[in-house]
């Protein structure tokens, strides 16, 4: 079936983001644009700025930029580092590699700890390297909490603990673009200095907003250093935000949606949100195992609750499989990125998602495996149904 031929019914968007936007959020964004310098907008901005802190689990400032998560990466770097500063990063996958590439372009002296892309960051490996840094040349440690390209998470609390154990003063910066509001995350409790996030995944919004949650330590570093910046300057943002304003034209209608998204997350309850994601992720892995296929992430402690990356057997093309699923069942699955291209497909199970949506997704995958001639055992969907109907 040609990809442009009419297909009835809804499209299944099962990539790991952007995710499905709830109707309630869409309707909120459908309001008329208002004066972004008037009192009505100031009240909206304050509700969003205060509300988003509860999602990061922080009392510190959270700065909102009209940008993708890539913008929040850059804001984190340019506010805290200077050209030539030494930064330790971990190559957990494609997006960690892109953050590393950005740091290089900005003139930061990056040191990249390599991995095989099948596990998260190793706290002990970081501790060993930081212990060797007796003169504290390393100014920051940058880690991706949930690597969207691999379906592997990293233990941020343990990383902070080893940094504290050796009393290393480096800033801890964490990318939560595909984990915030999907996987438990605690900016203050875990001692994170800069948390990076985006709107288009667990936060139930379209792309267009990015975030920096910033510790007092990071703010002090930024006020006395960092790189030349204008748009990304934290201090200018914070001063304007005190009055419910922004130093530029904000993304007004996305803020309408953000306010409602925060309400929805709290109505379900963050713990319930995380439990739902955990349950769907475990169910998906059970289905993959029933099919006789292999989850890319090899360490169970690093399993992601946002997505599952699945390896296809040697001699088969994951992208050809994805095309068959799209053309026959109107469902989009995530592709393999960089060195995983053609080797994996990624099932997103994050955001506004429920049991029936998961079963529809897994049914499309199982039928697609048959049509693509990929060796597998039947029964993944049945396994998932049994798991989801247990009391």
Q: Looking at the domain assignment, is residue 3 inside a domain?
A: no
Query: Mean pLDDT across the chain, nearest whole number?
Result: 97
Residues 379, 248 within the same domain: no
* Boundary-marking domain end, from 236, 266, 296: 266
My answer on whether 151 and 196 are in the same domain is: yes
- In this structure, the answer to whether residues 141 and 283 fall within a common structural domain is no
Last residue of a domain, one of 217, 243, 266: 266
Same domain, 251 and 287: no
Domain end, chosen from 231, 266, 301, is at: 266
Is 7 domain-assigned? no
**How sure is the predictor about 79, in pLDDT bands with cuts at 50, 70 and 90?**
very high
Q: How many CA atoms lie within 13 A of 50 on its CB side?
A: 9
Q: What is the CATH number of the domain that holds 290?
A: 3.90.1150.10
pLDDT above 90 (res 6): no
Q: Is the pLDDT of residue 126 over 70?
A: yes
What CATH number did the domain enclosing 35 receive? Answer: 3.40.640.10
Quick one: how far is CA 307 from the chain centroid? 10
Is residue 71 pLDDT above 60, yes or no?
yes
Question: Is 250's pLDDT higher than 90?
Answer: yes
Q: Is the pLDDT of residue 142 over 50?
A: yes
Taking only the tens place, the pLDDT of each residue in 149-175 is 999 999 999 999 999 999 999 999 999
CA torsion sign for 128, 74, 213, 29 is: negative
Is it the case that residue 254 has pLDDT exceeding 60? yes
CA distance between the termini of the chain: 40
Report the number of distinct structural domains present in the chain: 2
Task: Return left, alpha or beta for 93; rule: phi > 0 is left, psi -120 to 50 is alpha, else beta.
Answer: left
pLDDT tens digits, one per residue of 188-238? 999 999 999 999 999 999 999 999 999 999 999 999 999 999 999 999 999
Q: Containing domain of residue 331, as a range?
A: 12-20+269-388
| Residues 172, 95 within the same domain | yes
């Amino acid at each position: 079936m040609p990809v442009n031929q009419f297909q009835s019914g809804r499209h299944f968007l099962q990539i790991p983001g952007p995710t499905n936007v709830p109707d309630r959020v869409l309707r909120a964004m459908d309001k008329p644009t208002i004066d972004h310098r008037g009192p009505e907008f100031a009240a909206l901005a304050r509700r969003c700025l205060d509300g988003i802190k509860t999602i990061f689990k922080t009392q510190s400032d959270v700065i909102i930029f009209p940008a993708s998560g890539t913008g929040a990466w850059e804001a984190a770097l340019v506010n805290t580092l200077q050209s030539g500063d030494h930064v330790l990063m971990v190559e957990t996958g494609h997006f960690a590699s892109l953050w590393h590439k950005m740091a290089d372009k900005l003139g930061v002296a990056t040191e990249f700890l390599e991995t095989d892309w099948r596990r998260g960051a190793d706290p002990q490996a970081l501790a060993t390297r930081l212990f060797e840094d007796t003169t504290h040349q390393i100014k920051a440690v940058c880690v991706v909490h949930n690597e969207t390209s691999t379906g592997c998470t990293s233990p941020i609390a343990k990383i902070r603990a080893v940094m504290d154990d050796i009393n290393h003063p480096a800033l801890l910066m964490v990318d939560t673009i595909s984990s915030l509001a999907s996987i438990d995350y605690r900016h203050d409790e875990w001692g994170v200095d800069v948390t990076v996030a985006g709107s288009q995944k667990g936060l139930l919004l379209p792309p267009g907003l990015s975030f920096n949650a910033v510790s007092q330590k990071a703010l002090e570093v930024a006020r006395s250093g960092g790189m030349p910046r204008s748009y990304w300057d934290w201090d200018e943002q914070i001063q304007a935000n005190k009055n419910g304003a922004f130093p530029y034209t904000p993304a007004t209608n996305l803020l309408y949606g953000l306010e409602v998204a925060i309400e929805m997350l709290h109505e379900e309850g963050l713990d319930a949100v995380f439990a739902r994601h955990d349950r769907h992720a475990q169910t998906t892995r059970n289905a993959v195992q029933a099919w006789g296929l292999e989850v890319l992430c090899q360490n169970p402690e690093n399993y992601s609750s946002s997505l599952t990356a699945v390896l296809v057997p040697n001699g088969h093309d994951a992208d050809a499989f994805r095309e068959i699923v799209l053309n026959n069942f109107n469902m989009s699955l995530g592709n393999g990125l960089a060195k995983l291209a053609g080797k994996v497909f990624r099932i997103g199970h994050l955001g506004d998602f429920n049991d029936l949506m998961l079963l529809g997704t897994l049914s499309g995958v199982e039928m697609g495996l048959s049509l693509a001639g990929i060796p597998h055992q039947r029964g993944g969907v049945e396994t998932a149904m049994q798991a989801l109907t247990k009391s």
